[in-house]
Amino acid sequence: MTNSAPTQHLSVRNEQRETLSVPTRYLKKVWKSVWSSFLGSDCLGKIPSGFEIAVCLVSSSRMARINKEFLNHTGPTDIITFDYPENDWAEASQADKGWIVRGDLIICPLVAVQQSREFNVHWIEELVRYGIHGWLHLLGYDDQDEDSRRIMKRVENATTQQAVNDFPIPEI
């Protein structure tokens, strides 16, 4: 029996032109590394062995349309995560080691620029954070109530900090 490498497919498409040049290669490298670090670990009772994720960077107007259509919220938001039925954590057993995380992340770079000013961080760090946030949702983390939000935010903050330490933000 051969030991095959885990599935690690990530596509990143920049379909917006509102912001500065977005370093998609950098983001792809960071997110792939971060997400790979979770493989083989227990993530809320399930052990991911790989991922197939598409990230699409969109304009604020397109994000607002997606936000309205799928979440019935008004205006653009930072990230919307779409997962697929095979990401059913509730039915997965802890012994399931073949789980491939699949989903789409829709991210708005203009919101990252705006929020980076509010939080006094680099806008690319905000984009790194959004990809990590979406990944955590795909793993089953939730931020709908205060306790879940606190847990998710703690993991998100630590993972984002480690990511920007390991991969310094490029000059643009």
Q: What is the pLDDT of residues 69-98, one digit of tens each?
A: 999 999 999 999 999 765 554 455 544 556
Which residues, 6+ apart, have CB-to-CB distance to 4 below 8 Å? none
**Mean pLDDT, residues 22-30:** 97
Q: Which residue has the tokens 């205006």?
A: 75
Single-letter code of the amino acid located at 55: V
pLDDT value of residue 52: 95
pLDDT value of residue 137: 95
Superfamily of the domain at 8-165: Metalloproteases ("zincins"), catalytic domain (3.40.390.30)
**Mean pLDDT, residues 135-163:** 96
Locate the domains of the chain by residue range.
8-165
- Tell which residue, 137, 159, 127, has the closest CA to residue 28: 127
Q: Which residue has the tokens 């979440």?
A: 71
